[in-house]
């Protein structure tokens, strides 16, 4: 009996953690899309954060705050390397540059014996938890709103709408793009660290291209009129498969159908409310 | 002659097989309204694009207030005092009218990333100040009542005025206007003329591309005429209007008849 309840709790706990972690991933996607760039590397950045943090926890036994700094910093540096060559090109090139990133990294993990090779890493200590995850989400959301409602948010929206016109406004477009990708990679890396430390186990295949598409679909479903869009999109897409569980085999079909219908019939996403971009009343 | 704000020296621009500009030189004196005219495809917009850094010249130099612009990206040119509008309206349609003007004031607007993240009082003060200034500019162009509207919902003539307001927000020394009167009705055109005269009085130098000849002739003290990418005439409205090459370039067009009637 108690085992049954423990099990039930465990099931819901992982769902609740998943909601928070995926919402953070949705925000990481938002930071890039809000500036009109398309990155298909968010899962890869998440994976780098997961591996970097797990190795530091498992092999060196470092404390979690230190581990988190690495979880954000290492993917941020990778993003810097990836984006510098694509900066002056249009958004599509970033998508192409990041598309293969997940696959390259997967092969790297598989062949990296120190990190467990194909078997992955297990025995990652249980760190973080509910308050850490949702506290981070709340902080990031507040930060995204504060930044969105300032000259930085206006510059990002200007770049998203018309890069050349934004440059003519005096906005240093390449610098903004670089900052957006680096910050989004850091956020994804933190989500990766949380995920690794609540599931105790990571494997090379966890951060592949299909995961990148899932993260993108959080933002597509929720919309990018405000940072809340991708967060709700992530909540919905994380909860939906669970809610549809009684449908057994049909649930994935319905899940896909819902996503496709939203994209077709509501191109601005379910949550199309547009945030104001001025940081002071009146 | 010494206080030219903008100096264009032997400017050449080639797009593949198209020589859009060849060996064009002219100077825009500070404090003047300078016209840049020519038939369709003459290279006027190309000149604007090269001056503002959206296209690169294949030869020649551009100097703004003595500073060579040639290798600078467009945002640096804006910071040196250059602003422009676009012939094919390029406002930020998904922002409000007020937000568009504030975006134009990007360089002026204060607040570091940390101020913004912590929403410090000095950040909020800077935002309030920016909004007040943006409202003043909107009032100047006659759009104050539309401040909260979506920019994409404006009427055509209002979009053109928003382009001007957004460009003014950067406090430019030189404002380049690419066909600001296009699609405006006579009363809007009249209001635009008054606006440009106010700007001139305030010390903004204007470089004006416009097909409405009456508008150009009334406003400009100096006019540069391009045809097929080459400079064909330069001088006061009276001189340009009588120039045989200019009349020939416009021959057959309605404008030519207007020009001839007037001279
Ligand atoms: N990016 C480009 N690539 C190739 N050709 C171009 C490009 N931009 C302009 N051109 C060509 O350069 C020439 C000059 O065009 P431009 O737009 O500067 O003319 P314009 O004087 O502004 O004309 P209009 O009065 O019709 O606006 C045209 O032949 C045009 O087709
Ligand atoms: Mg033109």
DSSP states of A2-24: HHHHHHHHHHHHHHHHHHHHHHH
A166 chain-B contacts, CB cut-off 8 A? 103
Flag the least confident range among A69-78, B131-140, B185-194, B240-249. Answer: B240-249
Enter the pTM of the model. 0.92
Residues B203 and B248 in one domain: yes
Tokens of A262: 């939203």
Average pLDDT of chain B is 93
Q: How many domains does chain B have?
A: 2
Residue where a domain terminates, one of B171, B197, B226: B171
The mean pLDDT of A174-200, rounded to a whole number, is: 95
Do B111 and B132 lie in a common domain?
yes
Last residue of a domain, one of B119, B146, B171: B171
Are residues B180 and B75 part of one domain? yes
Q: What is the pLDDT of residue A181?
A: 94
pLDDT confidence of A13, banded at 50, 70, 90?
confident
**Same domain membership, residue B164 and residue B136:** yes
Q: Domain span at residue B255?
A: 1-81+173-263
Q: Are residues B186 and B262 in the same domain?
A: yes
B18 lines ligand 1 (CB under 6 A): yes
Q: Does B66 map to a domain? A: yes
Q: Is ligand 1 within 6 A of the CB of residue B49? A: no
Neighbours of A23 (CB within 10 A): 27
- B253 pLDDT band, cuts 50/70/90, is low
Contact A71, A239 (CB under 8 A): no
Q: What atom in ligand 1 is closest to the CA of residue B46?
A: 18
For residue A96, the tally of other CB atoms under 10 A from its CB is 13
Instruction: Name the minimum distance, in Å, from the CA of A179 to any CA of chain B.
Output: 12
> What pLDDT is recorded for position B260?
55
Asked if pLDDT for residue A243 goes beyond 90, the answer is no
Q: Kindly state whether residue B86 falls inside one of the protein's structural domains.
A: no
- Are residue B110 and residue B183 in the same domain, yes or no? no
Tell whether the model's pLDDT for residue B88 goes beyond 90. Answer: yes
Interface check A88 vs B, CB under 8 A: no
C-alpha distance from A136 to closest chain B C-alpha (Å): 15
Instruction: Tell me the nearest-neighbour CA distance from B160 into chain A, angstroms.
Output: 14
Question: pLDDT over 70 for what percent of chain A?
Answer: 94
Q: Is the CB of B43 under 6 A from ligand 1?
A: yes
Q: Are residues B66 and B189 in the same domain?
A: yes
Coil, helix or strand at residue B142: coil
Domain-terminating residue out of B171, B190, B221: B171
What is the domain partition of chain A in residue ranges?
16-207
**How far, in Å, CA of B160 to CA of B143, rounded?**
11
β-bridge partners, A201: A122
Contacting residues for A57 by C-beta, under 8 A, at least 6 apart? A64, A67, A124, A125, A127, A197
| pLDDT tens digits along B185-223 | 999 999 999 999 999 999 999 999 999 999 999 999 999
In a domain, B88, yes or no: no
Within the 121-150 window of chain B, which residues sit less than 8 Å (CB to CB) from chain A? Answer: 123-125, 127-128, 130-131
How confident is the model at residue B263, as a pLDDT?
Answer: 47
Quickly state the pLDDT bin for B100 (edges 50, 70, 90): very high
The chain A residue lying nearest B122, using CA atoms, is: A280
Vertex B55 angle, CA B50 and B60, to 5°: 50
């Amino acid at each position: 009996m108690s085992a049954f309840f423990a099990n039930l709790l465990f099931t819901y706990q992982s769902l609740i953690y998943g909601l928070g972690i995926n919402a953070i991933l949705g925000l990481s996607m938002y930071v890039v899309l809000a500036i009109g760039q398309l990155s298909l590397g968010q899962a890869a950045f998440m994976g780098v954060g997961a591996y970097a943090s797990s190795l530091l926890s498992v092999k060196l036994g470092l404390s979690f705050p230190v581990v988190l700094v690495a979880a954000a910093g290492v993917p941020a540096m990778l993003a810097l390397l990836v984006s510098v060559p694509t900066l002056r090109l249009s958004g599509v090139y970033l998508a192409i540059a990041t598309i293969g990133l997940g696959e390259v990294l997967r092969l790297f993990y598989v062949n990296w014996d120190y990190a467990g090779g194909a078997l992955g890493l297990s025995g990652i200590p249980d760190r973080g938890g509910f308050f850490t995850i949702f506290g981070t989400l709340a902080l990031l959301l507040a930060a995204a709103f504060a930044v969105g409602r300032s000259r930085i948010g206006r510059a990002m929206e200007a770049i998203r709408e018309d890069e050349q016109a934004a440059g003519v406004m005096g906005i240093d477009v390449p610098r903004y793009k670089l900052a957006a990708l680096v910050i989004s990679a850091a956020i994804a890396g933190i989500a990766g660290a949380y995920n690794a430390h609540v599931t105790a186990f990571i494997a090379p295949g966890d951060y592949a291209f299909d995961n990148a598409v899932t993260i993108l679909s959080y933002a597509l479903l929720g919309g990018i009129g405000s940072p809340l869009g991708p967060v709700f999109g992530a909540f919905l897409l994380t909860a939906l498969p669970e809610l549809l569980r009684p449908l057994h085999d049909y649930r994935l079909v319905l899940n896909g159908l819902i996503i496709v219908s939203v994209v077709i019939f509501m191109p601005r996403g379910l949550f199309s409310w547009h945030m104001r971009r001025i940081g002071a009343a009146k | 002659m010494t206080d030219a704000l903008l100096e264009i020296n032997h400017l050449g621009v080639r797009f593949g097989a198209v020589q859009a500009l060849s060996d064009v030189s002219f100077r825009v004196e500070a404090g003047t309204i300078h016209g840049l005219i020519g038939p369709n495809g003459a290279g006027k917009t190309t000149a604007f694009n090269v001056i503002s850094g959206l296209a690169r010249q294949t030869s020649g130099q551009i100097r703004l207030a003595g500073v060579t612009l040639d290798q600078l990206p467009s945002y640096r040119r804006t910071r040196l005092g250059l602003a422009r509008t676009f012939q094919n309206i390029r406002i930020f349609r998904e922002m409000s009218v007020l937000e568009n003007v504030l975006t134009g004031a990007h360089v002026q607007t204060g607040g570091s990333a940390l101020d913004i993240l912590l929403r410090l009082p000095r950040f909020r003060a800077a935002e309030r100040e920016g909004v007040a200034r943006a409202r003043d500019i909107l009032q100047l162009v006659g759009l104050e009542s539309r401040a909260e509207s979506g920019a994409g919902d404006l009427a055509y003539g209002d979009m053109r005025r928003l382009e001007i307001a957004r460009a003014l927000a950067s406090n430019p020394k030189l404002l380049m206007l690419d066909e600001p009167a296009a699609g405006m009705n006579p009363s809007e055109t009249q209001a635009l003329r008054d606006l440009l005269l106010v700007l001139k009085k305030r010390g903004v130098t204007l470089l004006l591309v416009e097909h409405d000849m009456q508008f150009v002739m009334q406003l400009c003290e100096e006019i540069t005429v391009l045809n097929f990418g080459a400079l064909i005439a330069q001088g006061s409205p009276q001189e340009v209007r009588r120039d045989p090459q200019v009349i020939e370039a416009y021959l057959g067009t309605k404008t030519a008849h207007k020009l001839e009637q007037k001279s």
